[in-house]
Amino acid sequence: MREYLKFYIDGQWVDPVEMKTLDVENPATEEVVGRIALGSAADVDKAVKAARRAFESWSQTSREERLEVLQRILAEYQKRFGDLATAVTEEMGAPASLAQRAQVPAGMGHLATAAQILKDFKFEEDRGATMIVKEPIGVCSFITPWNWPLNQIACKVAPAIATGCTMVLKPSEVAPFSGHIFAEIMHAAGVPAGVFNLVHGDGPGVGAALSSHPDVDMVSFTGSTRAGIEVAKAAAPTVKRVHQELGGKSPNIVLDDDAFSKSVARGVQHVMTNSGQSCNAPTRMLVPSQRMEEAAAVAKATAEQITVGDPNGNFNLGPVVSKLQWDKIQGLIQKGIDEGATLVAGGTGRPEGLEKGHFVKPTVFANVTSDMTIAKEEIFGPVLSIMGYESVDQAIAIGNDTEYGLAGYVNGADLEQARKVARQIRAGQVSINGASDMTAPFGGYKMSGNGREWGDYAFHEFLETKAIMGYAPKAAE
């Protein structure tokens, strides 16, 4: 039983102002495996004040000082690699192999990337007599999700540290263990008191206070579009910067060529990774209508090879994170059946042989049309919708026919055509043939949010731009 009943504020582990606790469940066993303290607006106020005090000196540190701190954080993170992997598996059900191969390394990758970028990042630019200066925005509040917990913590914390900001983190109360260990890492790394603070809690108790606090200069939120709207509303009266990475319903356009079978199989595997709990998952696969049966057959064969079970065992997929999520996914699978989509693989209920745990069958629907609920709503589970197109132009139109715009995918042998299609997808990040890049900007168009994370683009989110005119006046003639 893990007990995380203190918050990390001003360089110390402190008791909550008022002790309230929340049980944390292991989604694979449905058993309580830990407790956290739930914070309040009073705890947030203490943490924000600590961050505000620390900002005065931290914002004035040199590039070299911040680089040294980032490198110490990375070293401590590496020491706790095993602890972090165990925590992620326990709190949100990621298979141990995925935790070790992707979940924990993702956080490490953002820390290393930020350190590398900081070495050469230009914080000042001469424009004749004017000096353009990029300065840290101030105190930042971070509200992070449960699905890729370390990825989302590190991709906010790393650039904030690098640019001289101070911060208060609220990790997801559904999967809080890895966030708590991250705070231990920050302490062990000797991050100056008040620069990084952690308050556990839920949205109404802590998230709302972090979003509305007048001494917070920026709120960065990752989660559902619904919750993101509430964050923006809470932030509006104080006119703070709002950075959001929200939902997605990403199209995957499979071109009509010799790579077709390989492209379909890759798309299925991508959707199912992390039990479908990725905001950028390619959940709408678009295939030529005349090859729908072929696509369905390949998708069925691929989905049926995916094993589901104990995340500590040798299985591809673990559970989804909670009963709430499981119920939502089951309802949407049933909706797909009721609305006439062709169920190719999976379906409702737990996979055979699993009597407890929030496990979902890898599910594929074919002959899905744009008016169906499963083509429009973010399911956030291992569920793929295959849709048909008559022409590439129609595929692009269907792909863009969504309120979201987080990611897009194009798969095919003809690189020139794939590039052409990628340019026309209205999304913040488009991947051709499975390519990925941790330094590429990540964020969405439309209802998928605003601003960008990852790499050098993330740095700009945490900086204000100041123009100092007459900084270098012309010499008198």
Task: State the catalytic residue, choosing from 25, 91, 173, 245.
Answer: 245
Please name the amino acid found at residue 18: E
Residue 169 host element (H or E): strand 166-170
Provide the strand spans (E) within 278-436. Answer: 284-288, 342-345, 363-368, 383-389, 404-405, 407-411, 429-432
| Three-state DSSP class for residue 37 | strand
Under DSSP, the state recorded for 129 is: T
Position of tokens 């062990």?
A: 188
Is 245 known to be catalytic? yes
Cβ-in-10-Å burial (0-12, 13-18, 19+) of 239 comes to exposed
- Closest of 301, 302, 308, 303 to residue 351, by C-alpha: 308
Position of tokens 């123009």?
A: 467
Q: How far apart are CA 453 and CA 110, in angstroms?
A: 10
Q: How far apart are CA 441 and CA 429, in angstroms?
A: 7
What are 446's two structure tokens? 């439309």
Torsion sign across C-alpha atoms 189, 438, 244, 20: negative
Q: How far apart are CA 401 and CA 397, in angstroms?
A: 6
Is 91 known to be catalytic? no
Q: How far apart are CA 441 and CA 421, in angstroms?
A: 19
| Three-state DSSP class for residue 371 | coil
Q: How far apart are CA 115 and CA 162, in angstroms?
A: 7
Task: State the catalytic residue, choosing from 76, 91, 279, 453.
Answer: 279
Under 8 Å between Cβ of 253 and 410: yes
Q: How far apart are CA 106 and CA 125, in angstroms?
A: 32
Provide the strand spans (E) within 16-137. Answer: 21-26, 31-37, 124-127, 130-136
State the CB neighbour count (10 A cutoff) for residue 226.
10
What are 456's two structure tokens? 């050098």
Q: How far apart are CA 235 and CA 244, in angstroms?
A: 12
Residue 354 host element (H or E): none
Query: What residues are labeled active site?
Result: 245, 279
